[in-house]
Structure 1
């Protein structure tokens, strides 16, 4: 899409007199575009420049959410002009995702510093909180090994800056997800190597799946503002993502239900294992540096 310009008649930087065709000053190189406009126009231009915030964006979003694998398929066959480029889409969605994650209701501080607050609660509230902690402990035991659990327990007894800890974890997670995305593409490359497809095609698939996951998780984060106890909703996020990924693999790789399932299961397990190791490592490093 061609950029809509509000052109000067004279360059404000060097005074060169523009001709109608000049998008940049031939003398100093400054862009011939007036930015002295209301903020609304600047926001619209930013979205237009980064995402082509028009029918192209909405069509991309529609296919991403409701047509698993279609964007990847169209990219692979060369039909790309009508859709937001995958990397640009990922950058925009991930920025919004981690912003929402940063401002979402924080339960970490309650978990790490709830001992002093227990004394201020009445007996019924203490009993309810104790039951909730019991449930959390059972879930944590399934997801964390003994050493990590001991580290967290140690942190509870110390003056941990929970705000700093949260910020570090979110920052590190954004970096980890960026690294894990090409890993997922490489796993697909290995399991579908007989199809002799380039790695880039698998990487595009990975980008689109991660974008879908981020959007789904953003919906969950939005619901947390209204439904603080939304653990059941949280469990739907990986479940829906798994179904979406399976259907997308069927569309992109053109194999049967069974063939796709036999690849989907090991790819998913390997990726989840790598993801778990990365996130647990993030917790450890963030705790040690807080």
Structure 2
């Protein structure tokens, strides 16, 4: 009678000569090591295998062909478009995070210096004003007989000129000295918001905005770039279906919206991949601005070829539609999205 083993996964018995369980496919021998653990994790999550490299090469040198093959049903040889996009975007934002940390420190330092400079300007204005007032009072006393002022009148004028109410108040639009004092003594939030100019009947959104302004002032802008960076991936994922919607408008009959999404996933994956290469090259050699501009324009050329290959349209039609899509997307959708990202980042700061 042949020897049998019991599967640790499904607990079914099978011939010991089998390397894998015929019932569930589990490996017969338990060879779990650290290397196997991490290699399986990476492979299962990112599918780093022949499909990735086959998809990568096709995406980079054959615009639109990868999306066309996936839509036509040739899917086992290539990575799923959403999975491919997720992998490349994770790599991009990981590389980009190193530049973000540096930019965040630089921007925070600039904001801090700007706030300190305004304080110094306030002090300087007061000092200069005090010197000018002192010179004026000395001139009045020296020419008291000429201008015909009595001692009592001169004393009254001197008192008025020495009053704090005559000192110009240069501020950020709120009672800054009062706010600094409230922050120093740990005053309640309501008092600090009131010092910033918030009225009692301010709605919920307005209160949130004032609270974020207060947090920005207290932290002196520290970490604002990091919050902005954390918001970008979500915004990019939302921009992708908008791009697919543009494709649906120009290619209403040739494909369904799901097909347009497949094209959009692969096209955005190409853009992220190009940015990854640019960031890595910049670590070794700073790419001139004119080359970066040419690379950005090359995205339009890539889009023209991709549209022709995917939708099987004419060169003229692909050029016309790619130009219009790029124009409206870059001049309307992207600026609006950028403003939205900044607002969301500020409200989440």
Give TM-score, length-normalised by structure 1: 0.70
Q: Distance in 2 between matches of 1:267 and 1:166?
A: 30
Return the offset for 1:209: 0.4
Give the conservation status (yes or no) of the 8 Å contact 2:216–2:222: no
Paired residue for 1:110? 106
Q: CA RMSD in A?
A: 3.3
Question: Is 1:285 paired with 2:344?
Answer: yes
54, 62, 67: which one pairs with 1:67? 62
197, 219, 225: which one pairs with 1:166? 225
Unaligned runs of 5+ in 1: 1-8, 119-154
* Larger CA Rg, structure 1 vs 2: 2
Give the conservation status (yes or no) of the 8 Å contact 1:112–1:156: no
Q: 1:119-172, CA deviations, whole angstroms, 9 ceiling, x for partnerless residues?
A: xxxxxxxxxxxxxxxxxxxxxxxxxxxxxxxxxxxx998744443x23322221
Give the conservation status (yes or no) of the 8 Å contact 1:104–1:225: no
After superposition, where does 1:1-290 map in structure 2 within 5 Å? 16=11, 19=14, 22=21, 34=30, 36-39=32-35, 41-104=36-99, 106-114=102-110, 159-163=219-223, 165-195=224-254, 197-227=255-285, 231-272=289-330, 273-290=332-349
Give TM-score, length-normalised by structure 2: 0.59
Give the conservation status (yes or no) of the 8 Å contact 1:101–1:170: no
Farther off after superposition, 279-288 or 240-249: 279-288
Number of aligned residue pairs: 241
CA 1:110–1:192 in 2, change beyond 3 Å: closer, same or farther?
Answer: same
Return the offset for 1:185: 0.9
Paired residue for 1:143? none
Return the offset for 1:230: 5.2
Paired residue for 1:133? none
